[in-house]
Amino acid sequence: MSLADSVLAGDLLALARLLTEVENSSPASRTALDELFPHAGKAHLIGVTGATGTGKSSLVNQLTLKFRKPDTGDPRRVAIVAVDPSSPFTGGAVLGDRVRMRDLAGDRGVFIRSMASRGSLGGLAQATAAMVQVFDAAGFDLILIETVGAGQSEVDIARVAHTTLVVEAPGLGDDIQAIKAGILEIADILVVNKADHPGVEKTEHALKTMLSMAHPVDKVFLQHGQAATRAGQADGAKVWVPPIRRTIATDGTGVADLVAAIDQHARHLHQTGDWLRRERARLEVELETLISETLNSRFRAVVSDEVYTEVVDRLVQRRLSPGEAVEALLNRKF
């Protein structure tokens, strides 16, 4: 029985082993990913991003608890991938795992995996995508991809998600600074966590102002349909204006409402065909990355180290430009 088969059969130990293989990009993981691929594509991928201090991790915990014990309907299986791209040299993305364990321990319907950065950012986004695929094939209904920080790296990692939550909190210093335009652009749902803290109105107001700039065509919604926007979009609406939800992750206030918004976004994606479009775009990027990697490794296999070193020598001596170097290398060997 292959590792992939064991994972498909529900073996959690095999799942953990495969995730390690995936994190190390081992050849075994490549084979397993190919085997799992036909079984993936069903999970709802949810990105959760936002600056440190917003209470993101607690919110992810609370969301998970709510998905496991919903007010109505069946419990769903939840995987959490917690990614920390900002600490290349600490060597461990702990992200409050221990705190989590207390609430979620012993629940076989929840699987948590942390991942620290190891050098290349592209590599991290790729490893995250691969992990998500493993969880997806293993039958998890919801996969929460949590990233620390709020930079370009998080945008890249979140790109894999169907639904992206951007978490803010009152009192994080300068508003303009905390709410980055680039981050807002990728938000499907905005969450103002720590809604019991002072300044929540101000934070929500700042978000609304930035939303109206980011979605100028939807201004009419924000001006005339504030109530409708606040309550979320009507099912079947063509345009999704990111709703803003207030939560208090420490006691679970607003989390049921947030779950409803997440489910509504999934329905919206299916109804408009966006689900399939995002899936396609994602697979296209994956294909392009793999093509690029394969071409490069084939190229390096036919160019000897001696030739390569000689070319770099001449570059350093400025006797050859990079353009001329590539021309020479490719025409000699291809």
Q: Which residues bind its own copies (CB under 8 A)?
A: 30, 33-34, 37-41, 52-53, 85-90, 117, 121, 149, 151-153, 156, 172-174, 177, 180-182, 185, 214, 276, 279-280, 283-284, 286-288, 290-292, 294-296, 298-299, 311-312, 315-316, 318-319, 321-326, 329-330, 334
In sequence order, the 6+-apart residues with CB closer than 8 A to the CB of 317 are none
Say if residues 159 and 124 touch (Cβ distance below 8 Å).
no
Spatial separation of the C-alpha atoms in residues 28 and 32, rounded to whole Å? 6
Nearer to its own copies, 16 or 326 (CB): 326
Least distance between its own copies and beta carbon 29 (Å):
11
Least distance between its own copies and beta carbon 144 (Å):
22
Spatial separation of the C-alpha atoms in residues 295 and 173, rounded to whole Å? 47
Nearer to its own copies, 104 or 137 (CB): 137
Least distance between its own copies and beta carbon 252 (Å):
26
Least distance between its own copies and beta carbon 191 (Å):
20
Least distance between its own copies and beta carbon 285 (Å):
10
Spatial separation of the C-alpha atoms in residues 181 and 18, rounded to whole Å? 37
Beta bridge mates, 190: 166, 244
Beta bridge mates, 244: 190
CA separation, residue 323 to residues 32, 74, 297, 307 (Å): 39, 60, 20, 16
Least distance between its own copies and beta carbon 80 (Å):
22
Nearer to its own copies, 10 or 41 (CB): 41
Least distance between its own copies and beta carbon 35 (Å):
8
Amino acid making up residue 151 = G
Q: For 299-314, b where at least 16 C-beta lie within 10 A, e where not — what string? A: eeeebeeeeeeebeee
Nearer to its own copies, 40 or 256 (CB): 40
Nearer to its own copies, 75 or 151 (CB): 151
Q: Give all strands of the β-sheet with 163-168 in edge-to-edge order.
A: 110-116, 78-84, 142-147, 44-49, 163-168, 189-192, 244-246
Nearer to its own copies, 33 or 131 (CB): 33
Nearer to its own copies, 174 or 306 (CB): 174
